[in-house]
Copies of this chain bind each other. A is one copy, B any other.
Amino acid sequence: MDISSYLSNVRTKRPLVHSITNYVSVGDCADIIESSGGAPIMAQAIEEMEELVLKADALYINIGTLSSAVLPSMFSAVSLAAQNNISAVLDPVGAGATEYRTETALKLLAQGEFALVRGNISEIRALFGFRGRTRGVSASEEDLVQESDLDSLGTMARDFARERNCIIGISGSTDIIASSSRICFVRNGHSIMPRLTGTGCMLSALCAVFLAANPLDSFEAAAAAFCMMGLCGEIAAKELKEGEGPASWRIRFLDAVARLTPEELEKGARYEMR
């Protein structure tokens, strides 16, 4: 794929991403949308859902701090996005950890037409009928993607993608992105990244930006976003000075997202299309 063009489109179009997300990493999500070249709007009042969804180039739904108060807005937003052909991204944070989250994520999937569902392997498994063992909101250690599992996991993801007619993105040491017909493995990233709260939420937000700016090929757009996330994570890790750790990494990471050029993305992206 011409991966650089996906980032160029983000930078040129400055797509508006409407997010209904959790209050833990909401600031980080706004930051990555803005830094990457998009324009964020975070809102949850049912009274303004229609106006905001219709203005947006993509919708991002994240169930990280789900509450019944915000559910009507989420359902309304995904319906409106489906009716108006606006790309929607679902981050099913903690699916598998509680029935409430698993069921809510499944209801959202049933109600809308998501372009992409992005989660860790536990969350994705929980949604697609495999018994996951989600512990908290991070991937269970038993569920970390192993190199030897990649083929079968890629096939599983493609099957899910067919079943739901959407792209499936699974983050791990190797990321897996699958559409109904294609599979991509992304090998960018750094071991510090799972040690931070909010990296998964930021990745999903970045995917929403890329899908918003690249409606013609959502699969490649999502793969490009995964590459950018991982590559900026590598750059940030390389820049860490003596004594610096995860909090400094997050700052350097967001800085890297802001300055990465399409050419640098092209050069640094490590992915394999199948």
**Chain A: residues with CB nearer than 8 A to chain B?**
16, 22-28, 30-31, 33-35, 39-48, 51-52, 55, 64-69, 94, 97-101, 135-138, 195-198, 239, 243-248, 250-256, 258-259
CA distance A246 to B257 in the complex (A): 10
Q: Which residues from B are CB-within-8-Å of A94?
A: 41, 43
Residues from chain B with Cβ under 8 Å of A65 in the complex = 42-44
Q: Are B244's CB and A247's CB within 8 A?
A: no
Q: Which of B22, B40, B52, B244 contacts A97 (CB 8 A)?
A: B52
For the complex, what is the distance from the CA of A35 to the CA of B245, rounded to whole Å?
A: 9
Pairs of residues from A and B, 4 with the lowest C-beta to C-beta distance, nearest first: A247-B254, A245-B255, A48-B98, A245-B258
CB distance from A146 to the nearest CB of B (A): 20
Contact at B39–A99, with CB atoms within 8 Å?
A: no
Are A55's CB and B246's CB within 8 A? no
Which residues from chain B contact A41 at a C-beta distance below 8 Å? 94, 97, 136-137
| Residue of B whose beta carbon sits closest to that of A138 | B39
Verify A195–B258 contact, CB threshold 8 A: yes
The answer on a CB contact under 8 Å between B27 and A24 is: yes
The chain B residue with its CB closest to the CB of A194 is B34
Cβ of A33: which chain B residues have Cβ within 8 Å of it?
197
Q: Knowing A47-B68, A51-B97, A136-B55, say if A31 contacts B245 (CB, 8 Å).
A: no
Q: Are A247 and B196 in contact (CB under 8 A)?
A: no
Are A16 and B98 interface neighbours, CB within 8 A? no
Contact partner of A251 among B69, B136, B247, B256, CB < 8 A? B247
| CB-nearest residue of chain B to A196 | B34
CA gap between A64 and B243 in the complex, in Å: 32
**Docked CA distance A87–B68 (Å):** 27
CA–CA, A219 and B69, complex, Å: 38
Q: Would you mind naming 6 contact pairs between A and B with Cβ atoms under 8 Å apart?
A: A34-B197, A39-B135, A40-B136, A42-B65, A67-B69, A248-B255
Residue of B nearest to A239 (CB): B243
Interface contact B254-A16, CB-CB below 8 Å: no
Chain B min CB distance to A212 (Å): 12
Residues of chain B contacted by A252 (CB below 8 angstroms): 243-244, 247-248
